[in-house]
Amino acid sequence: MGGRTFGVGIIGTGRISGAHARAARESGGTRLVMASEVDQARADAFESKWSCPVVADYREVFENPDVDIVSLTLPHWLHEPIGIAAAEAGKHIFVEKPMADSVEECDRMIAAARSHGVKLFTGHTEQFLAPNVAARNLIASGEVGTPVLATDCWYKAFGVAARPAWFLDRSKGGGMWLMNGAHMVDRLTYLMGQPVVSVKAIVQTRFHAISADDTALAFLQFADGSAATLAHTGYKDHAGAGVDHIGGEIIITCTEAQLKIVDRARLYRSVAGDKGGMWQEVEVDRVDTTTAELRALVHNIVHDEPETVSVEQARHIVAVMAACEESSRTGREILVHA
């Protein structure tokens, strides 16, 4: 990387910010410079843990010449305005998924990044998880044939009491759909290797008295004719209401074999057996995904190349999620336009 070290500033010190701080320390080509946080208790805790200055006004991060990359670990509704401000300040952007709450917001962020010559990297972790990477490589090698169908199920308690207020309000980007639905759509398009062309879905509030969704079921049709279903719930928060699937279970049926990914941690493939086949675990190396993402962004910057997680892919995920919400409102199949 030419010996240069890139300074990282983090805006927002909530739940995911620690992963970004660790990545800035451990990626090898970056260093943690500062952070911004409006909540004093969170600011004090972050400053104590990571030994870096924390300011209340995020604009001070943009004004610091030692900051090259800004990590946005903010509520979803703030991604667009602060992302655009970062681009206008000439800072490269590492934004947590989803890129934004709507396609229109994504377009404005992309335009700002391109206009000011900075990278816009969306943290779609699923594309860096070891089981997903290994599964995609198995598919690309032809060993398991061509993907035909996939199912993706992820169940968990919502945890209303522990959620910040914005997460209970869809107008602020809250709800299970934008949080985990983004992961599910991303990993399905990544594994199937195809964009989504149409959806039929429900995205509803069935378990909790909140202004955001807690239930989703979607049928996704891909460009090559393959298809997938995804199901996600944030069920009631009492013992016995359900059984958590920490990261869900994905089964991909290909023309020559099946693949299964469990809890975002383990990969299995079907092998011949005396009862029609059986699962065999595929060994994979564990990775720190946020560190891998930051390393990829630095590589993109140094080599002046398109983002490893392309802006087109990150935008497409938001478009698919929006189409699913529209399908839920109208009861119709919705085409997903490029």
Band (pLDDT 50/70/90 cuts) for residue 272 is confident
Contact 36, 61 (CB under 8 A): yes
Q: What DSSP letter does each residue of 148-201 carry, written as one string?
A: EEEEEEEEEE--GGGS-GGGGBGGGT-SHIIIIIHHHHHHHHHHHTS-EEEEEE
Band (pLDDT 50/70/90 cuts) for residue 1 is very low
CA atoms of 254 and 295, how far apart (whole Å): 32
What is the maximum alpha-carbon separation in the chain? 66
Q: Tell which residue, 51, 13, 45, 48, has the closest CA to residue 32.
A: 51
CA atoms of 91 and 193, how far apart (whole Å): 31
Contact 194, 146 (CB under 8 A): no
CA atoms of 100 and 281, how far apart (whole Å): 36
**Could you tell me which residues are beta bridge partners of residue 252?**
150, 259
| 205 phi/psi in degrees, rounded to 5 | -115, 105
> What sign for the dihedral angle of Cα 55, 70, 79, 216?
negative
Question: Considering the entire predicted model, what is its pTM?
Answer: 0.95
In the sheet with 69-72, reading across from the earlier edge strand, the strands are 54-55, 30-36, 6-11, 69-72, 92-96, 120-123
pLDDT at 184 exceeding the cut of 80: yes
For 29-68, the pLDDT digits (tens) are 999 999 999 999 999 999 999 999 999 999 999 999 999 9
User: If you average pLDDT over every residue of the chain, what do you get?
Assistant: 96
End-to-end CA distance of the chain: 34
CA atoms of 96 and 76, how far apart (whole Å): 8
> What sign for the dihedral angle of Cα 232, 139, 312, 87?
positive
Band (pLDDT 50/70/90 cuts) for residue 159 is very high
Q: Tell which residue, 319, 152, 143, has the closest CA to residue 249.
A: 152
The proportion of the chain whose per-residue pLDDT surpasses 70, expressed as a percent, equals 99
Using alpha carbons, list the distances in angstroms from residue 91 to 10, 59, 80, 95.
Answer: 12, 12, 14, 12
CA atoms of 293 and 17, how far apart (whole Å): 14
CA atoms of 185 and 150, how far apart (whole Å): 12
pLDDT at 249 exceeding the cut of 50: yes
Contact 324, 218 (CB under 8 A): yes
Region 114-118: mean pLDDT is: 98
Domains (ranges, CATH) in the chain? 6-123+289-306 (3.40.50.720), 127-286 (3.30.360.10)
Band (pLDDT 50/70/90 cuts) for residue 188 is very high
For 57-108, the pLDDT digits (tens) are 999 999 999 999 999 999 999 999 999 999 999 999 999 999 999 999 999 9
What is the pLDDT at residue 275? 67
What is the pLDDT at residue 277? 80
For 190-205, the pLDDT digits (tens) are 999 999 999 999 999 9
Band (pLDDT 50/70/90 cuts) for residue 246 is confident
Instruction: Enumerate residues 6+ apart whose C-beta is below 8 A from 55.
Output: 34, 35, 36, 61
Q: Tell which residue, 205, 175, 159, has the closest CA to residue 321.
A: 175
